[in-house]
Amino acid sequence: MFHESLIKSKQKQGEAGRKVYQRFVKGKGELNKYQHHMIRDMAYFEALFNEMLNDKNASVETLEGIKKGREAMRMSLNISPKAKSSEAVLKFWATGKMLYAAHKKNKKKKKKKAKKLTPEIAERAAVLANLKKQIATAKVNAQRAATIKAQEKIEEGN
What does the pLDDT profile of the chain (158 residues) look like in tens digits?
665 556 677 777 778 778 887 877 787 777 777 788 888 888 888 888 888 888 888 888 888 888 888 888 888 888 888 888 888 888 888 888 898 888 888 877 766 666 677 888 889 999 999 999 999 999 988 898 888 888 888 888 76
Q: Is 12 exposed, middle or buried (0-12, 13-18, 19+ CB in 10 A)?
A: buried
Whether the model clears a pTM of 0.85, i.e. scores above it, the answer is no
Strand residue runs (E) in 32-141: none
The Cα 50–Cα 46 span in angstroms is 6
Q: Are 83 and 92 in contact (CB under 8 A)?
A: no
Burial (0-12, 13-18, 19+ Cβ within 10 Å), 42: buried
Give me the count of residues in the chain. Answer: 158
Going by C-alpha positions, the residue among 23, 30, 1 that lies closest to residue 103 is: 30
Diameter of the chain measured on Cα atoms = 73
